[in-house]
Structure 1
Amino acid sequence: MPDTPRAHRSDEQPDGGSGRVSFRNVPGSPVENRRQLLVKVSWMLLWMVYLLYPVSDLLKGGHSPSATVAGWTALAVFVGCYIGLVVLRSTAGTRPTACRVVVATMVLTAIVTAFGLGTAWLTLFTYASVAVGIIAPARFALAGVGAMAGLTVVVGLLSRADGGDIPTLALTAFLSGAAMTGLQRLVATMRELREARAAVAHLAASEERLRMARDLHDLLGHSLSLITLKSELAGRLMDGGKDEAARAQVADIEGVARQSLIDVREAVTGFRRPTLPVELAAARTALAAAQVGLEASPELVDAWPGLATEEAGALAWALREAVTNIVRHGEGATVCTVRADETWEGDGERFAVLEIADNGAGPGKSGPGNGLSGLEERLALVGGRLETGPGDRGRGFRLRALVPLRTVPVA
């Protein structure tokens, strides 16, 4: 398989400028800055298209000057309440009472304008129904939306609106509110999933710390006890004039201490060795913080269950390096794709292939850096190799790590 040209995307070099400013926020989470709030409000304003009906009603000039002024004022109040509700729901520390007051004002404005200005203003009930779906508790949300649809029918009949428009307006109000209710439940579920994932990560870290403490206790407890006993024995032998026996005990103490040091180093090395499942979970968190989506099949975690420890660790290092490059240097990247595959070389040797690609601006024209060079050395130590270059259709950056698929028996 021919080598593809490598490009410098090292995570060892610090960024010269500041990080990318995100204009997006995760659904269901509080906005982090004013830019995100402005973007969210702008998106919500796109749904104000139904206000063309009351606006056109005012522009036709069919009302008296005082009624026209009152209509524009009511419309401004309604839109202000709508935007205010979005702001209140987007900022941390949501105030339920304030939200209820805002929604009540919207409903009252819709009722007054429908009676005072005509059928065109019944469209305000659609937005009022959506607002009710936003603030109502989950178990009462659908009932509240249905009540708003019923209120639309009642107000339409009492205001002598066109009978053919009332069912359409009521159905629109109900469906819009019901859709918002479903969206709120989806957002709540996403929030719970994020909290659960954070809790799982915390528990995993705690479990690993406990394992490390348990290993160190098992390794050092016996050795330190033995060193203490032999030190006391050596002291007594020296006091009794038995120098040769004391030297033998000191030699034993030295041997136990050296072996303890070796055991601790091996334990720490095993503790620091990355694994593919752990690095995949860390990659998902890091990419989410950089507003980059991760596309990886669930089978990736168990793609090579019997792969040797050193080869599996090399693939985990490759995933870490690639994700770090995307977070630091992947300008414009929105998706990171991770794939697992196998390939046969010309000499008949089978290789496990881990491919990580993004859809950003690409690697540019810089040379190889320390991060990729170090990764290439890691792969070479286990008989593998590194391939880097542009992604599909020349966009983004692709990293392929190949290691020999020499499996070991699964315990």
Structure 2
Amino acid sequence: MNTQLERKMSWVYLINLIFYIIPLFTVRFSPWQYLSMLSALLLFLGCYFWAYRCNRHNMHWPIAGIVLVAALITPVNPGSVSMFAYAGFFIGFAYSLKRYLLLTALLLALLVLLDLTLTIHWNLFLIMGIPIVLAVSFLGRAEQAKLRHRLAEQQSGDEIKQLATMVERERIGRDLHDILGHTLSSIILKADLAEKLLARQQADAAQQQLTELSQIAREALSQVRQSVSGYKHQGLTAEVARLLSRLRDAGFVAELTGEIPHLDSRRETAVVLALTELVTNIMRHSKGDSCQLRFTEQAGILKICLSDNGRQADVKEGNGITGLRERLTAINATLKLQHNQGLTATIELPQQSTLLQEAT
């Protein structure tokens, strides 16, 4: 799930650096001050675009960098208040309301501390700085709300697609039942009649029945192809959504974390079958009410963890788990079962690039 800021307008938003740039042309500075302001500007730009490349959960480092650069350059150029404003924007975008209020209060306290402890040659540093930081931080909150709305619409769209897929499957099932039910009855009738005609040595009549039988079969094949045309299997993402829906229908609170990976068809099929078996076991044997499915990747290893909070006895590995292990072994994957306040099943699957490196 993409939780990054849109970068297409990032250069335009730099116009707010005007408070920092104007003093360069209106005030006389010494050479080392010009050099320090240029260095600070470059460091700020690095942190600024770093923040745009980060998602919301990893934005603390570039924010800290911006605040540090702004604080260090403030004694030279109090127009650094514009840099503090960018920090306020990213804080508003990245954090929950509680952390946003805390960090914004700390940022404003830092402005007050700098004004009290440093000799700042701009008497409007606080008068303009505090409103600017607050206003821009509100824009960050608005951007976060817009992102949440966009993600909610995307999730809603995905759910609609899944429902459409289920409806399409049901339609295909009904069509195949109607088509094949009637057609197979006709084929059986024609075959029986041809057999009786051959027994009576009425070859021409039997040939006519066989010709009609062949025509019926061809028409049925054409109808089946038309019925399933345009239907495509939706892959791992759709199957995960279906399994989570099954768990919720069974009374579990089912949560999904991490990004669902893209796998080749062979490994995707094996993972889908494995997750289906594990979900079925939870629904049959777990006495819990909560289940989590996590996708993580570390050092070229994809880990898929399915855990529940059921108080069940140790699982006896029957034919289902044994077959599951064999299916995973065929794609170089492993299965680990662990009991700790419930059952956690972990599938570890080397990514394709890792397998190629080991092969070479």
TM-score (norm 2): 0.50
**C-alpha displacement of 1:40:** 3.5
**C-alpha displacement of 1:50:** 2.9
Alignment check: 8 A CA contact 2:47 2:66 kept = yes
Partner of 1:123: 82
Report the residue type matching 2:212 in the other structure: E
Q: Name the CA shift for 1:46/1:117 in 2 (closer, same or farther; >3 Å).
A: closer
**C-alpha displacement of 1:229:** 4.5
Query: d(CA) in 1 for partners of 2:104 and 2:5?
Result: 25
Q: Name the CA shift for 1:139/1:255 in 2 (closer, same or farther; >3 Å).
A: farther
CA displacement, residues 157-188 of structure 1 (integer Å, 9 cap, x when unaligned): 33355665414311210110121121122123
Query: d(CA) in 2 for partners of 1:76 and 1:263?
Result: 68
Matched, 1:100 2:60: yes
Matched, 1:184 2:144: yes
Determine which of 8, 16, 20 is the counterpart of 1:47. Answer: 16
Query: d(CA) in 2 for partners of 1:30 and 1:129?
Result: 15
Q: Name the CA shift for 1:206/1:250 in 2 (closer, same or farther; >3 Å).
A: farther
CA displacement, residues 260-294 of structure 1 (integer Å, 9 cap, x when unaligned): 9389659949989xxxxxxxxxxxxxxxxxxxxxx
CA displacement, residues 358-403 of structure 1 (integer Å, 9 cap, x when unaligned): xxxxxxxxxxxxxxxxxxxxxxxxxxxxxxxxxxxxxxxxxxxxxx
Alignment check: 8 A CA contact 2:85 2:132 kept = yes
Report the residue type matching 1:196 in the other structure: S
Partner of 2:298: none
Partner of 2:212: 254
Report the residue type matching 1:83 in the other structure: F
Partner of 1:136: 95
Q: Name the CA shift for 1:206/1:187 in 2 (closer, same or farther; >3 Å).
A: same
Q: Percent identity?
A: 21
Determine which of 20, 23, 27 is the counterpart of 1:60. Answer: 27
Query: d(CA) in 2 for partners of 1:29 and 1:60?
Result: 38
Alignment check: 8 A CA contact 1:78 1:106 kept = yes
**C-alpha displacement of 1:219:** 1.6
Q: Name the CA shift for 1:189/1:233 in 2 (closer, same or farther; >3 Å).
A: same
**C-alpha displacement of 1:109:** 1.5
CA displacement, residues 30-65 of structure 1 (integer Å, 9 cap, x when unaligned): 88xxxxx6x544323333223234534xx512x544
Determine which of 155, 161, 181 is the counterpart of 2:114. Answer: 155
Q: Name the CA shift for 1:222/1:207 in 2 (closer, same or farther; >3 Å).
A: same
Q: How does 1:7-406 map to 2 (within 5 A)?
A: 39-56=8-25, 60-61=27-28, 63-86=29-52, 88-89=53-54, 94=55, 97=58, 99-114=59-74, 116-117=75-76, 119-137=78-96, 140-159=99-118, 161=120, 165-236=125-196, 238-239=198-199, 241=200, 243=202, 247=205, 251=209, 254=212, 258=216, 261=219, 268=226
Q: Which structure 2 segments of 5+ residues have no match?
A: 231-360
Alignment check: 8 A CA contact 2:19 2:79 kept = no
Alignment check: 8 A CA contact 1:212 1:271 kept = no
Alignment check: 8 A CA contact 2:88 2:133 kept = yes
Alignment check: 8 A CA contact 2:67 2:84 kept = yes
| Higher RCO structure (Cα 8 Å, ≥6 apart) | 1
Q: Name the CA shift for 1:129/1:163 in 2 (closer, same or farther; >3 Å).
A: same
Report the residue type matching 1:47 in the other structure: N
Q: Name the CA shift for 1:138/1:225 in 2 (closer, same or farther; >3 Å).
A: farther
Alignment check: 8 A CA contact 1:231 1:249 kept = no
Q: Which structure 1 segments of 5+ residues have no match?
A: 1-26, 32-36, 273-411
3-state SS of 1:71 partner:
helix
Q: Name the CA shift for 1:47/1:28 in 2 (closer, same or farther; >3 Å).
A: farther
CA displacement, residues 5-52 of structure 1 (integer Å, 9 cap, x when unaligned): xxxxxxxxxxxxxxxxxxxxxx97788xxxxx6x54432333322323
CA displacement, residues 330-374 of structure 1 (integer Å, 9 cap, x when unaligned): xxxxxxxxxxxxxxxxxxxxxxxxxxxxxxxxxxxxxxxxxxxxx
3-state SS of 2:11 partner:
helix
Number of residue pairs matched by the alignment: 228
CA displacement, residues 67-100 of structure 1 (integer Å, 9 cap, x when unaligned): 44323322332233223323x14xxxx5955x43
Q: Name the CA shift for 1:76/1:255 in 2 (closer, same or farther; >3 Å).
A: closer
Question: What value does the CA root-mean-square deviation take over the aligned residues?
Answer: 4.1
Report the residue type matching 2:16 in the other structure: W
